[in-house]
A and B are shown apart, each in its own frame.
Chain A
Amino acid sequence: MSKYNLNNSYKAVVIGGSAGSFQGIVKILAQLPKDFPLPIIMALHRLKHVRNGFVEALSIKSVAQVLEPHDKEPIKKGLIYLAPSNYHLSVELGNHFALSTEEMINNSRPAIDITLGSSAFVYREKLVGILLSGANRDGGLGMKHIKDKGGLTIVQEPTECMIDTMPKAALALTKIDYTLKIDEIIVFLKELDKQYR
């Protein structure tokens, strides 16, 4: 029996991370079940003016292709998406992405709050939100939006984070469902995968 209360109604997993999250994300992507039944949408803080290299670094060990979506690109299950540098990434009604160059939020573009908030608006209770290590408060509000719409929320165990400002911001703003270490997040995703088999 799983210790998580899961079902197969989820439509997407969205992940936010900043300083100290890279290793954890690489590990998650490497151990993700093959043909994962949901799209994984990632907003990670990154260098604003370096367009190339990051997606390649994340792809090396990943079980599935990591892509930086174009504006209005349809969202497909089994793919892993990364917010492009210097753009905010939103999910739009109608199952596609939208990009924007609006002002930075929390000094960040991409801003995690925008990706999480727009995903919460579209997927409502059918969304899993995961927030990892990070040095600013971006993502906290986005996690609150996910929780408020009935989605499932997970933050990385603060003691495991290189910098715990980000998960702590989320914990302060809303009641987070699970506080997990990276290895437990991987188990969680495997359990989630089983719901669809």
Chain B
Amino acid sequence: MVQDIDIADLKRITELIHTKYGYDFRNYAMSSFKRRMLRILELKNLSVEVMLKKLDEQPAFINEFLDELTVNVTEMFRDPGFWRVMREEIIPGILLNHKQFKIWHAGCSSGEEVFSMAILLSEMGIQKDVTLIATDLDVNILEKAKSGAFPIKNMELNEKNYIRFQGSSESLKKYYREEGGKAVLNKELLENVSFRKHDLVTGEIFNKFDLILCRNVMIYFNQTLQNDVLKKFHESLFKYGYLAIGSKESLIWCDIASKFLVVNNEEKVYKKIKD
């Protein structure tokens, strides 16, 4: 954070990426986007000019760039209370009307959340009835997610969350084996999960869901973009489907708020009540 970058330079970067690669970061939240840029410049030891040149002349650089730009900090069973609400209220609510249903994990990063859901569903004995679709714009992180393996050093925190979630097993260890410094998830957990590349900003609506999880993703967007993305979520949900956002996010300031009902305010779960 020692060097600084001005708004004009940030604009040059987003414009170039948009024109050349079609990714649109122009409506990302300024404060975090700026920090991500400074971080990339520092990590790669580049000046703004050199980075612009690299982006312009080396198409292979874009994936590396996206991988550093997107925030891939996540945990299994982050906010254990949220997962209890899923198990005790939301999933049973969906099951009242549908025996089989689909869940979208939008902005899935390295997959911790979608696999938390897979474990939860397996503990409820309904894993086979639920299709999980997990998307992200970062292809490198999707590859990691698909492998279903996490650094073993992260498992301590994941385990703590799981214990506080009060899962039906004594330990998360039941769900993975250690292999070369990694925690490799049991194959069965990956069965109904599919990963695909999808950019929330420029991507089309591709399916209809009963539940969408998009937690701590839209915090990186400005309000204009949040409104656009929420419109897509609204369209991608069946009527009376659920939307879950991060515990410190809110629909209050969003255009679409009136089409949703707050189901759980503490954990920020909403229900679509109007088309």
Contact = CB atoms under 8 A, between A and B. Distances in A.
Interface string B210-236: 000000101110110010000000000
B39 to A, nearest CB: 8
B248 A102 contact: no
A99 B219 contact: yes
24 contacts: A51-B79, A68-B248, A70-B248, A70-B252, A71-B218, A71-B219, A71-B246, A71-B250, A72-B250, A73-B250, A90-B31, A90-B32, A92-B30, A92-B31, A93-B30, A99-B246, A99-B248, A99-B249, A101-B71, A101-B73, A101-B216, A102-B35, A103-B71, A141-B2
A40 interface: no
A100 interface: yes
Interface string A67-104: 01111111000000000100100111100001111110
Interface of B: 1-2, 29-32, 34-36, 71, 73-74, 79, 81, 160-161, 164, 216, 218-220, 222-223, 226, 246-250, 252-253
A143 to B, nearest CB: 12
Most A CB contacts (10 A, CB to CB) among B31, B32, B246, B247 go to B31
A64 to B, nearest CB: 20
Given A49-B164, A70-B252, 12 more contacts: A51-B79, A71-B246, A71-B249, A73-B250, A91-B31, A98-B32, A99-B248, A100-B71, A101-B216, A102-B32, A113-B1, A141-B1
A62 interface: no
A21 interface: no
Contacts of A49: 160-161, 164
Nearest to B251: A70
Contact of B253 (A72, A92, A101, A117): A72
Contacts of B220: 100
Contacts, number: 74
Interface residues of A, number: 28
B73 A118 contact: no
Nearest to A142: B1
Nearest to A103: B73
Most A CB contacts (10 A, CB to CB) among B81, B161, B216 go to B216
Nearest to A113: B1
Contacts of B35: 100, 102, 114
